[in-house]
Structure 1
Amino acid sequence: MFKLTSLNLNGIRSASSKGLQAWFQQTAPDCICVQEVKAQADDVMGRFDQMAELRGYFHFAAKKGYSGVGIYSRQEPTEVIVGFGEPEFDAEGRYVELRFDSPDVKRSIISCYFPSGSSGEDRQQAKFRFLEAIYPHLQRLKLEREFVLCGDVNIAHQAIDLKNWKSNQKNSGFLPEERAWMTKLLSDGGLVDVYRQLHPTTTDEAYTWWSNRGQAYAKNVGWRLDYHLATPAWAARARQVAIYKDEKFSDHAPITIAYDFKL
Structure 2
Amino acid sequence: MRIISLNVNGIKQAAEKGFFEWMIEQDADVVCVQDLQAKEYQLSEDMINPGNYSGYFFDADEDGFSGVAVYCKEPPKAIMFGLGNPEFDMEGRFIQADFEKVSIASVLFPSGVAGTPLQEHKFQFMKAFMGHLKKTLRKRRDFLFCGTFYVAHKTHDVHDWKNQQGKSGFMDEERAWMDHILGPMGYVDCFREANYDQDEFSWWPQTEGAWERNEGWRIDYQLGTPGLKRRAAQAKIYKNKRFSDHGPVIIDYDYELNGEEDFNFF
TM-score, normalized by the shorter chain, greater than 0.5: yes
1:209 pairs with 2:203:
yes
Q: CA RMSD in A?
A: 1.4
SS in 2 for 1:89: helix
TM-score normalized by the length of structure 2: 0.93
- Provide closer, same or farther for how the CA distance between residues 52 and 260 of structure 1 changes in structure 2, counting only shifts above 3 A: farther
Q: CA offsets, 1:3-48, max 9 Å, x none?
A: 1000000000000000111111221111100000111121236331
**Distance across 2 between alignment mates of 1:260 and 1:52:** 25
**Distance across 2 between alignment mates of 1:228 and 1:11:** 20
SS in 2 for 1:143: coil
SS in 2 for 1:16: helix
Q: 1:99-178 alignment to 2 at 5 Å?
A: 99-101=98-100, 105=101, 107-118=102-113, 121-144=116-139, 145-178=141-174
CA apart distance, 1:218 = 1.2
CA apart distance, 1:214 = 2.2
Check the 8 A contact 2:49/2:55 in 1, yes or no: no
Q: CA offsets, 1:202-254, max 9 Å, x none?
A: 221x1010001221111111000110100121233210112111100000000
Aligned to 1:190: 186
Aligned to 2:229: 235
Check the 8 A contact 2:93/2:109 in 1, yes or no: yes
SS in 2 for 1:126: helix
What are structure 2's unaligned runs of at least 5 residues?
Answer: 258-266
Check the 8 A contact 2:202/2:219 in 1, yes or no: yes
What are structure 1's unaligned runs of at least 5 residues?
Answer: none
Identity over aligned pairs, percent: 40
- Give the 4+ runs in structure 1 shifted more than 6 A: none
**Distance across 2 between alignment mates of 1:28 and 1:89:** 32
**Distance across 2 between alignment mates of 1:199 and 1:244:** 13
